[in-house]
Amino acid sequence: MVACSIDEKLLKILACPACDDRPLVKLQCDELVCEKCKRHYPIEDGVPVMLPEKASKEE
């Protein structure tokens, strides 16, 4: 299992770039998830990759 850690201050300002109203994302182990559009953004080497084209999406 991958240990994941994101600074709480950073987590509070990260928002989904794919949604018009920019909802906040939630940490789910090794990725950030937008509760609105269900995109999953990867975290690579401790850095969130907040690019819609890099995100996976729940069906």
Q: What is the pLDDT of residues 4-59, one digit of tens each?
A: 678 889 899 999 999 999 999 999 988 999 999 999 999 998 889 999 999 998 76
The per-residue pLDDT for 42 is 95
For 13, 21, 36, 37, 58, the CA distances from 6, given in Å and listed in that order, are 12, 23, 21, 21, 23
The per-residue pLDDT for 1 is 41
> What is the pTM for the complete model shown?
0.85
Where do the domains of the chain lie, and which CATH numbers do they carry?
8-57 (2.20.25)
The per-residue pLDDT for 51 is 96
Distance CA 58, CA 38 (A): 6
